[in-house]
Structure 1
């Protein structure tokens, strides 16, 4: 798309958000701390349908992300071609991420598919910010679910970080870490035993 076509498409999308807006859902999200400049409360399933019709488009994804609108940002994660997304852009997007929902959307829709997924995942689970940790554990959970086995260093780092995260004050972080550990354990009997032994030390049995 040309720059003009991208801007025109974004205008059309904004109009379509108004038509399918869900006021109660939007209000509920605000009450739960999902704070965006604009939030139409459009269900993710409808955004996925819109993304399917749009197809993958790097320039459109970049432009959509710049809009401080929940629906635009989620669409950006859905139309971004993972193989074309540089790590620098992923880092910028995460710097601008302030909600658990958006961290989860990025992990699910884009980052699990990028070639540098393990690199950013291990970096982010070691960060102090909740949204980084949630995104990092969600990426690793998806990689483990797809059968990607970590090396010895990765195993030790993951289990050490996860044990700390499972004692974090944030429910979102604990939930993401536990899901990743369960996916890790699903890789096989040896992995299950390692996870069990690591978590037993902090009084958690899986």
Structure 2
């Protein structure tokens, strides 16, 4: 192989991995870009040490895949999830909820879960509220050390994760694995997204 081909292979390899990872996320419901990239690399016979695309590259390929093959389904699913998120955020308004994740950024697919960040003095306060409202939940493993708890609910056949952080962390800008600021939205913005598509959260 020529030196020029050697120089070209990593970018081509990264692009190929990103495309396969995006398809795995869209079709198989893999939520983690890191896991999807590892599976994509292995499907190509590459080691985990292979040159990997960053999460932004995978997200771009995921958007492209959804637009090409799942546009109507994906948009309908996202609107459904936004509606459920808005109702849930309304019920937990006292805990300063923010929507985050794929439902907000527009990449939510057929297997997407709702991620809502809560900022309060104690995760126990959220649990007591859910118990008083007779809302069933289970504990899930936090994805970050900053989270005090993750309370997972099942609403209308959809998984919703209430990720509870200390109140002071509301001022913190959380970042993605590849260093980008993680987008989040208050209830007013979620309602605006729904209204822009002619949908009421009621």
- TM-score, normalised on structure 2? 0.24
More helix per residue: 1
More strand per residue: 2
Higher relative contact order (CA 8 A, sep 6+): 2
